[in-house]
């Protein structure tokens, strides 16, 4: 499968943020090319959004020509479709063609999840992108695989702006793809605290801003209630390595204060556990 990632020479402004535009294209087995649009925030306070397939063209050259001729009105609609795809796309119902959880090998589904990081070349993926990429299994099976990988500490789930994300855990990076590129500006897992704070598992997340500096915040997951809390920005560091160093030096007393500052995460879609349980 051949892929193309081509910047589009224009800016887009939506929901109070400015975005760079990128054409994401890939060839299919039949030789046709599928095109998606990525909306890349220029600041670290927002996440990247991808549309579903917007166009199918007979060649890479024609796909690029299609993208270069799009109007501002088209991008307005594509931006709304990207938000819907990331935050409000319903889970696919299990059908006979999608495969039954009683007939599949969970280890194979987990491998497919990890393979997605290599395919996309990033260490953090929107959960919907993972579900869309693994179309040979039912969504409920993929969600259960993600949960299993999290229990094995190979991935970490978190929420940003109402969207569900999956990141490679530091111990699991050998199993999956590369770390997200500078241009991705999607949240990245920076640090996993080695022991719980009260009943909370703690991770530090970060995102690179357009000026190359890094913003960092904390997320707490209550293992008893399944509630997730998130702080606002806790630090700003000049480089990712500096953010990692900052995170690794935090003490329990800091986390105790941070959990009191943290606020519940508001999700626009069900949690992975709820989604999978509803289909068992």
Query: Do residue 110 and residue 81 come from a single domain?
Result: no
Compute the distance between CA of residue 139 and CA of residue 166 in angstroms, rounded to an integer: 15
What is the pLDDT at residue 113? Answer: 93
For 25-83, what is each residue's pLDDT tens digit? Answer: 988 777 788 888 999 888 766 778 888 888 888 888 888 888 888 888 888 888 888 88
Evaluate whether residue 72 is within a structural domain: yes
Query: Do residue 65 and residue 191 come from a single domain?
Result: no
For 95-104, what is each residue's pLDDT tens digit? Answer: 444 444 457 8
- Give the domain-ending residue among 27, 56, 87: 87
Compute the distance between CA of residue 57 and CA of residue 271 in angstroms, rounded to an integer: 36
Q: Structurally, how many domains does the chain consist of? A: 2
For 180-201, what is each residue's pLDDT tens digit? Answer: 433 346 788 888 888 889 999 9
CA-angle at 114, arms to 112 and 117, nearest 5°: 110
- What is the reported pTM? 0.46
What is the pLDDT at residue 181? Answer: 37
Evaluate whether residue 99 is within a structural domain: no
Compute the distance between CA of residue 172 and CA of residue 159 in angstroms, rounded to an integer: 20
Q: What is the CATH classification number for the domain harbouring 254?
A: 1.10.10.10
- Full residue range of the structural domain in which residue 81 is found: 3-87
For 218-272, what is each residue's pLDDT tens digit? Answer: 999 998 888 889 999 898 898 988 999 899 888 888 999 999 999 987 654 434 4
Calculate the average pLDDT of the chain.
Answer: 79
Distance of CA 77 to the CA centre of its chain: 22
Query: Do residue 19 and residue 58 come from a single domain?
Result: yes
- Give the domain-ending residue among 34, 58, 87: 87
Query: Do residue 195 and residue 123 come from a single domain?
Result: yes
- Residue 136: pLDDT band (50, 70, 90) is confident
Query: Do residue 118 and residue 45 come from a single domain?
Result: no
Q: In this structure, are residues 205 and 219 in contact, taking their beta carbons and an 8 Å threshold?
A: yes
What is the pLDDT at residue 272? Answer: 40
Query: Do residue 199 and residue 120 come from a single domain?
Result: yes
What is the pLDDT at residue 85? Answer: 66
Using DSSP's 3-state secondary structure scheme, residue 26 falls into strand
């Amino acid at each position: 499968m051949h892929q193309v990632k081509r910047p589009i020479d224009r800016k887009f402004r939506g929901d109070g943020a400015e975005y760079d535009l990128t054409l994401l294209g890939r060839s299919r087995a039949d030789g046709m090319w599928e095109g998606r649009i990525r909306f890349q925030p220029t600041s670290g306070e927002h996440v990247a959004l991808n549309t579903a397939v917007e166009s199918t063209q007979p060649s890479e050259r024609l796909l690029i020509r299609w993208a270069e001729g799009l109007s501002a009105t088209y991008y307005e609609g594509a931006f709304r479709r990207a938000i819907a795809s990331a935050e409000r796309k319903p889970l696919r119902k299990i059908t006979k063609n999608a495969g039954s959880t009683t007939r599949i090998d969970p280890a194979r589904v987990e491998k497919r999840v990890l393979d997605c990081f290599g395919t996309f070349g990033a260490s953090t993926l929107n959960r919907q992108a993972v579900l869309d990429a693994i179309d040979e299994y039912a969504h409920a099976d993929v969600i259960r695989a993600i949960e299993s990988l999290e229990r094995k500490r190979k991935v970490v789930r978190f929420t940003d702006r109402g969207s569900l994300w999956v990141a490679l855990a530091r111990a699991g990076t050998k199993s999956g793809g590369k770390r997200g590129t500078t241009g991705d500006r999607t949240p990245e897992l920076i640090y996993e605290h080695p022991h719980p704070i009260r009943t909370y598992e703690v991770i530090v997340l970060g995102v690179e801003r357009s000026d190359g500096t890094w913003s960092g915040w904390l997320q707490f997951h209550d293992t008893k209630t399944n509630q997730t809390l998130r702080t606002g920005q806790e630090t700003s560091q000049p480089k990712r390595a500096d953010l990692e160093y900052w995170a690794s030096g935090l003490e329990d007393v800091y986390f105790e204060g941070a959990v009191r500052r943290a606020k519940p995460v508001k999700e626009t879609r069900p949690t992975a556990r709820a989604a999978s349980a509803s289909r068992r």
